[in-house]
Structure formats: C-alpha cells, structure tokens
Chains A and B, each alone.
Chain A
Amino acid sequence: MSAADNKNSSYITDKEVSFKFDGKKYIGYKGDTIASALLRNNVRLVARSFKYHRPRGIYTCGIEEPNGIVQILNEHNEPNTRATVKQIYEGIRVSSQNRWPSLNLDIGSINNLLSPMFSAGFYYKTFMGPKGFWKRIYEPIIRRTAGLGKPPKEFRSKSIHQNHNVDIVIIGGGLSGLITARKLINTQYDVLLLEQDSFLGGILKNSKKIEKINNKEPNEWINETEKLIKDSKNIKILKNSLVTSYNFTNHLIALEDKSVGKKIDINKSELTLHKIRTTHTILANGHIERFISFRNNDLPGVMLAASFEKYIHRYGVVPETSPVIFTNNSTTASLLRSLIDLGHKPAAYVDSRNKDKIGRKLLNYLEKNNIPFYINAEVEGCDGNKKIKTISIKKSNKIIKVKSSMLCISGGINPDIHLFTQSKGLVKWDDKLVTFKPDVSFQNTITLGSVSGNYNYEKTVEEINNKLSFLKTKNIKLKIELNDISNFNIKELWETKHERKSNWSKSFIDLHNDVTTKDLKQAVREGFDRIEHLKRFTTNSMGTDQGKISSINSLGIVSKILKKKISEVGTTTYRPPYAPLSFSAIAGRNTYEFYDPQRKTPIHNWHIENKAVFEDVGQWKRPWYFKKFEMESMHLAVQRESEQTRKTAGILDGSTLGKIEIKGKDALEFMNLMYTNAFTKMKPMSSRYALMLGEDGMIKDDGIVCKFNDKHFIVTTTSGGAPKVLADMEEYLQTEWPHLQVYVNSITEQFSTFNISGPKSRDIVSKVFTDVDFSNENFPFMTFKVFDYMDTEVRVMRASFTGELGYEIYITPNKALELWKKIFHFGKAYDLVPYGTETMHLLRAEKGYVVIGQETDGTVTPLDLNFNWMIGKKKKDFIGKRSLTRSDTSRDDRKQLVGIVPIDKSEFIEEGQHVVECERLPKQIRTPVEYLGHVSSSYHSPNLNHCIAMAMIKGGNKLMGSKLFVSSTYGTKNIPVEVVSPVFIDPENKRLVS
C-alpha cells in the first residue's frame, strides 16, 4: 500500500527534478508542487503542529492547506510557504517548520501530553503573572515552541506594482470563468481573466466530474478556449495570479508569482502586485472542500477527498492505491471512479447517509466493483504512529477496523465566499447545500458557478447567460456531459461520536492553530458564545489559512452546542488578504533608497569633501557637524564650531528652510490673518520673526517674514513644516477667505540659503558683495536688500539664529556652490567655520531661542513662551486669537519656558528629564512623585563653560531664581538646579544690532 503514478496522466513527463526536503534528496517531476512530489516519494510526515507538535501530513491540494507549511531555504529563507502551492525546481531546498531538533524526533511534542494545560484561552489565563515572568520566561519559551518558521535572513524586494483599469474582471479560469470569457470574446469590454494556477481549467483538470464539453475532451476544450481568448483583442489572461483583496469601488489586488517552478532570477522581479479597478467583477472562484472532525482527524494520511482526486489528475500521483473514503455527500463518487478506472480498489467506502440519499446508481456501482462499503456509518477515528495504520468505522454501534494508510474525507463543499464577503456582499445559509452562499451583492459583483452555490455543472451555461444578460453579448450555447453518478445530496455532519479516550486522542476543528472541538465546547461553557468572541478566545480559524476547510464546521458545532440555527450563529468577518502575501509584494519598488526620496542641497558634495556627518531632517540630508580631523568626536566638533562662530564667524547651509511667496492685492490682510504679528505698520524691505498658530491657540510654526510691500511677502518656515504651512494657507484662502485675492507658491527649491553669523560676518559679506553697503546705519537689523550679483538676483537679510551679528543670503541654486566657495575664499582670513545643525541648536539655546517641535509640542501657546510681544493684540482677528483668552490658555500655572542651570557647574542635565521639587526620588515609588515639567533642550555651552538648559515648567515665570531638582538616569539622586532666564548670552541684544 503506497503511492503510484497515474499512467493515464499526460502530466508525467521525463523531466525529472531533484530537490531537498529537510536535507534529504528526492526526485519529482517538473510541475510538481512540493506536496505532490513528497506524496510521490511516500513522504507522509511533513510538519509538526503549532501548539501540540503533533505529526502532520499533507491535507489538501491547494491554497487552503493547514498543515503542509514549509520554509524555502534558498529563497531568502521564505517562511510559511504552502507546500501544496509552491512548485519545485532543480535544486530547491525546503525545510519543515516548528520542530526541534527534527521532524521525526520532536521534543515539543511533550506539549501534546500536557495538553490539558493548553486548552482554549490558555494564553490569556496562564501568563497573567507573576510580574516580570512574561518577559523573562514565558515569552522566550513560547517563541521557541510556538511560532511559524523563521524570519527571512536577508531581504531585498524584487516586486513591482502594476495598475489596471478594465470593464470586467473574471476571477477564476475554471469552467464558469472560461465559459464567461468565451462569451466576452471580441465584445466592447476590456476584460482581465485572473487564474491562481499556472494553467486554466480548474475543476476540469482537478477531477473526472465532467466527461465532455461540446463532444470534446475537457483538455481539448480548454486549449481551444485559451487560444480563442489569446487571439481576441479584448481579453487578457493573468496566470499564477491570486486575488487577495476585494476593496471598495471594485478595487482588487492580485498577486502574480513570476517565478513559478523556476529558480528565482535575482535580477528580475519575483512578484507583481496588480492593482485593478474594474466596473464589474465576476467571481468564478469556485469552492473549497471541508473536513469532518473525528478522533485523530489530523493524523498524517487523512486528506480531503477532492484534494486526493486532484493529485491523481493534476499531478498524476495516486497518493495511496487503496485508501478508505469517508463522506456525507456524493462529490466523492468521482474519486471512487478515478481510482477504479486506474485499476485501484479503495479499502472501504464509508457514507453517513442512508441508501435513499446515496442513490441506487452509486450503490450499484460499489456493488459491481466489489468495494466494501458501509452506509449509515461513520469513521469513529484513526490510529497509527506518525501515519494512519487502522481506521475505525462505526456502524450500528459496532466498530469495524480497516487497515489503510490513507483516509479521504469529504464533509461537503463551501462556495469560496471569502472575496464576496470582502466586497461587503451579504451571504445566506442554504439548508439544502448545508453552507453559506452569496445572497445580495454590495458592489457590481456577479457570482457564477459553484461560488454562487450552483453545484450542477449542467446548469452553468444557463446561469451565465441569465446573470450576464445585462451585458451587450450574445447568449452562449454549450453541451456539458457529466460523469457524476448521483446528485450532491449532502447530509449535515460536523463531528462523529468517538469512543476511546486518552490524552493523545483529539478531534480537531482547526488543524493550523491546533484547536479541538473540545476547546469550542469549553469556550461556550466559559461564556464566549458569540462567534467573534469564540474565535478570538480559542484562536479558531485565526491561522494563516484562515480556517478555509474548517470555519463553517465550527459554526455547525457551535450551533449544536447553543441549540441554535447556523444562520443565527452567523459568520465571522472575512478580511483581506485571502491568503498570506509577503511584505516585499506590498513594498514593491518602495524599498531602501527608493523608500523615500532624499533631498540634498546644492552644497552637498562640498559638505562631503569637508567631512560632514549628516543628519536626516525630514527627507533632507543636513550636515550635523563637520569633523576637522578623522578622529574628532561629535562633542569636540560642536564645541569647536560654536566657539569659533562666537569668536569670529560661522556659516550654516540653510537651503532646506521652507520658503513660501505670497503675492496679490490682499496679501497684507492675508498675512495679518495667518500670523500672530502685525504687519500693517511694518516698513517695506524689512523682516520680522513671526508665529503661526492653530485655531486652538497652540504654536504650529515659526519663520521670518520679509515684506517687499503690501502686495508681496516671502516667508520662511521650519525645514519640515513647509508643505503643511503652504497647505494651511491654501485651505484658508479657498475655504474661509475666498474673497481675498492672494496667490501662494512654494519657492523652497528656488533659493539656496546660507546663514553667516559671528562678529566678523559683516567683514566677510562686505568682501564678497563689494557693491553693497553693509554699514549698521544703511543695513540695520531685520532689513533686507535685493541686488544683482553673478548675473542673478541675490537677497541678503540681516537676521540672526544665533544671537550674533548675522546675515542670511538667498541665491539661485545653480550659483549657490560658487557663492559658497567665494564666501570661504574671503572668510579664510577670519577663520570662518562651517557648522551643522547641532551647533545651530547649541547657539540658539545659548541665546534662549526656541525650536518649534523641541520646546513646543502642540500644547504650547505663545504666552507660555513669553512671546506676548509677537502678538498683534490690536488686530481684530488672526488664526487662534480667540483661543489665547480661553480660561485654559490664560491660566498662570501653565507650563512656561524657563532656563535652568545646575547649581554645581560641573554637573550635566539630561534632555527629557523631569523637573521636580524633591532632592531624592524614593527608592520604591508608591505614589506618583509630583512633577513640575520637563527639560526640553540641554547643552554644554563652550562659551559659558557649563551646562545650560531650557525647560517647560508649571508656573515657571513665578519661579525665577528658585532652586529645583532634575531627575537623572544615574540613580535616585536628583541634580539641584536654579531657575533662570532662558537667555544666557547677550540678554541686551547688543550683538544683534551692533
């Protein structure tokens, strides 16, 4: 008793393929799946189960497989691959999952004997305590013993995305899909036919159920149809393409595997993710057989009957020449016939139905062929060590034992309603078919064939003509001859009664997640009687197979326990994806350097040459600091850059700064509304530090506003804030103030910006721009000039980010590098130093300048920062104005900005630490320690030679001069600090205006 080839199958070729499973070499045929090749080699044990580590074998022949889930070692170590779908090729290396040290000897199988511990809700109940056990003990053990495969070792996406816009999508290239396609050939419709397999035909190739179509052999008819479709101008076929999601507005996602049965070519994309938008979706995706629960229904050797038949016809392998067949319906008749036609004889045929339901024809056939059959009988269970040895059949309370290594079961068939319910279609229970079938479509969805609940292939053509009569097509005529012995005639059966009780004996409802029927009963007993709760409590149908062969069965069992109708129990929600898809498919080309564009300033290469270390600011690459020599640490570099800038001069590449130009008749009024400041009295060609609030009064952004005249402004924004500020301006102009004639435009990339500051900066810019008068009288603080330079227009503004004398230079990016180099040419004499963002932060912190997003976090008003002077109180309105007088924003115990310094000047305050009143934190914290605020910025100031920090603390304004404490990561002792003004350098602003 073992496997045999189906010699009638056209499938067997001389193309042998060698592959490795768990290190051992086997031979299969080209086109074999891992599963069919293993069955051909009589390998029955392929996996250990998820929780109990029980031996498992191949159960199905397709995407629904709950057991045969393997890891492909030579394809980025790809885990959780279905052995029943993945095709082999020369040299593929496959390993089983979830076993240690080996599949045959698995230590985790002790879980099976401890199984009373692992019942429903086990995770929720067991791992509650004691505290700390989860992290140190439970989690590591669970991760080793449970779990599915190992994550890929290295990952490099090789997938692309493709978009389609079509009139009709046909999902499934089986009998109904192909007839529909034939009907649509050379019509006005753009059609896409999606088939998950590498060939068309579906049921025609999977079984012997259909004898002839239009007097032709099914294979001949498939080939003829495929050729007609290919010759048509309007229908495209995508094979190896699995539809995983059916979204709103007829949006479908299909995953095409480009390397089926081939070794992956690392220079080509492995996967294509098709994003399809269609007017009509035709679901012709068929059905999935379901199993039956009985004692040890998970032993290697138990297989769905239709899958067994698929192996015979599709892969030319008879997994066992004399299996036992157990059924509650007539779909197994064609398996019976397939075996007998090949000269094999089933060991027994067990049918739970009575002779009326089975029908005279089938009974005659069994008698004629001398097959031992049992009607009104059930399989009670099966026994064996790592594979079936004996099968116990129960008839009229007697147990009959039959020897066979395989048991083919059919508990009925379910329309594959997954995609239909994803589309939000409504399903209903059919008492005759004992399953859910589509009822009302929500979108333009049509179901055809067995997915619609039509199991009678003779009626397929009629159904298609009827349901597609709204299309401009002709009716199709086809004669379909069946091979079936009798009608479907199912009798409800979810679980058989079993006799023997031992810890090892189990009746499973979910093979993938190791859920038993006993777990369902226990969950209901514990109050989880709603199907969605029960699913989560037991993890039933929550595996990567989503319970495709068993979820309806669990509804049947639960309905019996609750004594309700199945239609009252309802289904759980079907969610995308239909089957697992890898992250690399979703990522497409958006990986590594393509994930997010990098933005570089025109000076970028100069920065690299000058040993800049870069920091990511949004998408921008900004110099963080410059190394003077290779071994210079960040701390030393920043201290050097800061010191030099205050001593002579430093320059910052500020090209990343957002810039927005505002023009139009009503520009002044618009600016007065957008910003807190008053711009009416501001002189032309002057600039101002400005704040933008939300309607809630909280600071959103800051920047410098340059006023050319009442009709023309240019504003800067924070480097990351530009898109949002522009979008807000556009929103208000369109929605609130459409009467204002204003145009806003992003000019961030149109200008490069340099900040030069320090006492010598005037000397340097005077040497660069020799025609411009930089004297304090003619070029005062917060004014700007526009002039021609190097055949372009340059704008220079006197402003400061550091508290020193400073200039901001704007020039077209094409000439930016040339100017930058020129500045350094003249700056050399003054030891001009380039500095990065870290020094920028340090310098502004010394001066008490806040950074939006550092000191502020969306809960800070201008009043909290003592920015009262920036608020145009006389203005009638600006965004957020009214919120500044709300009872909450005008409280004087809000967190306010202060400076803090350590009382012991050798100590350092850490950013993000809490400001508290107590000298020491208690060793054991029982009640929360009262907290006053947090440290928002902290630096070691090279110019003051001690730590300076800014903090947001409750009622900070009133706490000037008081002694507080700051927590530290180095123990319970807090650092004593003094609350001071946040302006540490030049509080009189002498340097700015000199």
Chain B
Amino acid sequence: MILINCPYCGERDQSEFSNGGEAHVARPENSENLNDKDWGQYVFYRDNPKGIFYERWVHSHGCRKWFNAVRNTSTDEILAIYKLNENPPSKENFTNTLKTPSGEPKVGSGNFTVKK
C-alpha cells in the first residue's frame, strides 16, 4: 500500500486510486490512415518495464481526476507526479539502478530492490 500524492487533493492511500497503464500513448487522430499493424500497436501494446515507468493514475475514490506519475516498478517508489497538461520530467532525472536479471544482489531475491 503506497501513498500517492494526488496533485489536486494531496497524499492519499493507494486504495483510493486506479492505475491507467502507460502514459503518453496518444489516441491516433487519423486512424483510418493507419494500417492494421500500427492501429494494433496503439490498441494492444503497452510497455511493461522493470524500473522507471511513466504511467497514468486516476483518483477514482476522490476527485476523479486523471494525472501522470513516474514510478519505479520494482520498488514502487513514486518519483514524480504531474498533471496531464504539464510536461513530463526528463528520464535523466531518475537513475534506474536495477539491471535485470544479472544485476541483483547475491543475498536473497527478496532484497533486490534495495538502494545501494
């Protein structure tokens, strides 16, 4: 249960929010000009990285506003929160120390998320 800082309401428990998957996937405007493959890419394909991920959240049991977040998917740390009309923070701001699969600490798979 992580804490999420809704840009409109402030810090709230994760249970008040719903995740909306990868952010910045714009709906194609002239979809009739797209071939099946490109349209399929929009409908069915999303990234699912281990590490830094730009994603969408909605405060569904609160203000019901959508917003964006940058989250480290392997530690669940929320690194940044920004509104839909704001520019995403550059990826260089975040260091992803995790390498998969060989870079994990030797001691215990349960410990691989530690910041060193």
Counting CB contacts under 8 A, is A248 at the interface?
A: yes
Interface centre among A421, A426, A428, A734 (most CB of B within 10 A): A426
A567 touching B1 in the complex, CB below 8 Å, given contacts A442-B114, A730-B64, A883-B39: no
- Residue B105 is within 8 A (CB to CB) of chain A in the complex: yes
Cross-interface CB contact of A886 among B32, B36, B60, B84, cutoff 8 Å: B36
Given A442-B113, A883-B39, A886-B39, decide whether A696 and B108 contact each other with a Cβ distance below 8 A.
no
Question: Closest chain A residue to B29 by CB distance?
Answer: A877
Asked whether any CB of chain A lies closer than 8 Å to the CB of B17, the reply is no
Q: Number of B residues whose C-beta is below 8 Å from A? A: 38
The 0/1 profile, CB within 8 Å of A marked 1, for residues 74-116 of chain B is: 0110000000110000000000000000000111111101111
* Main secondary structure on B side of the interface with A: loop
Chain B contacts for A573, CB-based, 8 A: 108-110
Per the bound structure, the CA–CA distance linking A401 and B31 in Å amounts to: 88
- Chain B nearest CB from A642 CB (Å) reads 40
Closest to A887 in B: B36
Is the C-beta of B44 less than 8 angstroms from some C-beta in chain A? Answer: yes
Interface residues of A (CB under 8 A from B): 247-249, 251, 277, 421, 424-429, 440, 442, 532, 567-568, 570-575, 695-696, 727, 730-731, 734-736, 738, 876-877, 881-883, 886-887
Q: Is the CB of A734 within 8 A of B3?
A: no
Q: Are the CB atoms of B108 and A427 closer together than 8 Å?
A: yes
Interface residues of B (CB under 8 A from A): 1-3, 13, 20, 26-28, 31-32, 34, 36, 39-40, 42-44, 56, 58, 60, 64-66, 75-76, 84-85, 105-111, 113-116
Q: Which residues of A contact B65 (CB under 8 A)?
A: 734
B84 to A427, Cβ gap below 8 A? no
Q: List 21 A-B contacts (CB under 8 A).
A: A248-B1, A248-B2, A249-B2, A249-B3, A421-B108, A424-B111, A427-B108, A427-B111, A428-B107, A429-B107, A442-B114, A567-B106, A573-B110, A695-B42, A730-B64, A736-B26, A876-B32, A882-B34, A883-B43, A886-B40, A887-B36
In the assembled complex, the CB of A463 is this many whole angstroms from the nearest CB of chain B, namely: 22
List the A side residues contacting B56 at CB < 8 Å: 735
Per the bound structure, the CA–CA distance linking A738 and B83 in Å amounts to 13
A817 to chain B, nearest CB (A): 32
Known: A571-B108, A734-B66, A735-B56. 9 other contacts (CB 8 A): A248-B1, A277-B3, A570-B108, A695-B27, A695-B42, A731-B58, A738-B85, A876-B32, A887-B36
Q: Are A426 and B111 in contact (CB under 8 A)?
A: yes
Known contacts: A249-B2, A532-B109, A570-B108. The answer to whether A440 contacts B66 by CB under 8 A is no
**Shortest Cβ-Cβ A-B pairs, 3 listed:** A573-B110, A882-B31, A426-B114
Complex Cα gap A570–B111 (Å) = 10
CB distance from A911 to the nearest CB of B (A): 31
Q: Which residues of B contact A735 (CB under 8 A)?
A: 56, 66, 84
- Chain A nearest Cβ from B79, distance in angstroms: 13
In angstroms, Cα B65 to Cα A248, docked, is 24
Please tell me if the beta carbons of B84 and A738 are within 8 angstroms of each other in the complex. Answer: yes
Shortest Cβ gap from B11 to chain A (Å): 9
A425 touches B58 (CB 8 A): no
Hey, which chain B residues are within 8 Å of A249, CB to CB? 1-3
Closest to A877 in B: B31
Given the known interface contacts A731-B58, A887-B36, the answer about A440 and B114 at a Cβ–Cβ threshold of 8 Å is yes
Q: How far is the CA of A567 from the CA of B107 in the complex (A)?
A: 7
Enumerate chain A residues within 8 angstroms of B64, measured Cβ to Cβ: 727, 730
Report the separation of the CA atoms of residues A426 and B114 in the bound assembly, to the nearest whole angstrom.
6
Find chain A residues with CB under 8 A from B66 CB: 730-731, 734-735
Q: Distance in Å from the Cβ of B105 to the closest Cβ of chain A?
A: 7
The chain A residue sitting closest to B4, CB to CB, is A249
B29 CB → nearest A CB, Å: 8
B111 in contact with A421 (CB, 8 Å): yes
